Amino acid sequence: MTGNLFFHGTFTLNRVWVATPGRVFKAWSDPRLKAQWFTGPPERWTLVRRSMDFRVGGSEVLEGRFNESGMQPMVQENAREALDARMMADVFDDYVHAPMQRIVGNALCSEAERDPRGVADAHAMPDRSYDWREARLQDKEWAARVVDEAGPYRRFFPLGAPDRD
C-alpha cells in the first residue's frame, strides 16, 4: 500500500428529502446516480475503486485518494461488518486502549506517584482478549490498514517499543 491510508469505521446520514421513496431508493441503489452525490471533490480527489452490491447481505465500497495529501479513505458498508467493527472498537477501548493509557500515564508519573499493582493489572488486560481478537482480525483488510496507518505515529508513543520499532 502506498500513500497515507485512512480508515473510517461507520457513519450515519440523517436527511429528509422532498421526494418519493422510490426516487430516494434509486438515488442510493443506482451506482451511476449515487456517484453523482456520494464521492470526493472532483478537483481534489481521484477514484480508486467503487463497487456496489445492493442485495440483502451485499456490500458497498468507495475508495479514493486525495491528490494533495495522498490520504486514501475507504468507505465500506456491510451491516454485519459494521456491527463487527463497532464491537471490535469497544473491545479495543476496554481491553487495549484503557490499559495502555494506565501504563503510559504511570510511566509519566513521578516515582512516588506510581501504581505498580494498577500497571500489573493493565498489562494483563490485553492478554485476556488476545486469542479472541486475533481470531477475528485474521484476513480483515481494514485491520491491516489500521496497522499500516498507525506506523508513522509509533514514534510518539512515550514508552517506545524497541523490539518492533
All domains of the chain, ordered by start, with CATH?
5-76 (3.30.530.20), 80-152 (no CATH)
- What pLDDT is attached to residue 51? 87
3-state secondary structure of 25: helix
As beta bridge partners, residue 56 has: none
Distance CA 165, CA 118 (A): 26
Task: Assess contact for 139 and 84: CB atoms under 8 A.
Answer: no
At residue 162, the pLDDT reads 54
**E-assigned strands of the chain?**
5-7, 45-52, 60-66, 72-77
> Bridge-partner residues for 163, per DSSP?
none
**Which residues of the chain register pLDDT less than 70?**
1-13, 79, 82, 160-165
Q: How far is CA 163 from CA 95, 100, 160, in A?
A: 22, 17, 9
pTM: 0.49
| Residue 9, pLDDT score | 54
State the pLDDT at residue 113: 95
pLDDT for position 11: 61
What's the pLDDT at 1? 43
